[in-house]
């Protein structure tokens, strides 16, 4: 099976940015320990609007990592499989 990822969009008020960064750092450590990749991107024109991506080699690994996360994504069942292009 191709690589699999999940994504979540989060809007964070300015007063909560540092707490969000701390939670994102903890999530990064959790997913790294589970053998997954975790990235956070912030929208350039809308500070505080973040997209979080979590990637694993297969759906089972990503589901297990989400299930064991302290703060799992809002919709952990929504996974995307990499499309092989010619």
Q: Which two tokens stand for residue 51?
A: 């997209």
Per-residue pLDDT, 76: 87
Measured CA to CA, the distance from residue 41 to residue 49 in angstroms comes to 8
DSSP 8-class letter at 57: S
- Closest by alpha carbon to 53, among 4, 13, 17, 86? 4
Structural domain contains residue 26? yes
Range(s) of the domain holding residue 37: 4-76
Task: Give me the number of domains the chain comprises.
Answer: 1
Per-residue pLDDT, 86: 86
**From 43-47, 50-54, 58-62, 70-74, the region with the lowest mean pLDDT:** 70-74
CATH of the domain at 42: 3.30.70.100
Measured CA to CA, the distance from residue 3 to residue 62 in angstroms comes to 10
Tell me: the pLDDT tens digits for 4-43? 999 999 999 999 999 999 999 999 999 999 999 999 999 9
The pTM (predicted TM-score) of the whole model is 0.90
Structural domain contains residue 25? yes
Residue 52 Cα distances to 27, 40, 84, angstroms: 10, 4, 23
Per-residue pLDDT, 4: 97
């Amino acid at each position: 099976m191709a690589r699999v990822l999940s994504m979540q969009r989060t809007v964070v008020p300015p007063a909560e940015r540092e707490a969000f960064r701390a939670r994102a750092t903890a999530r990064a450590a959790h997913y790294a320990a589970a053998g997954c990749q975790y990235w956070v991107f912030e929208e350039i024109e809308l500070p505080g609007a973040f997209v979080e991506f979590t990637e694993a080699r297969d759906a089972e690994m990503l589901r297990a990592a989400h299930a064991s996360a302290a703060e799992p994504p809002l919709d952990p069942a929504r996974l995307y499989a990499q499309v092989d292009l010619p």
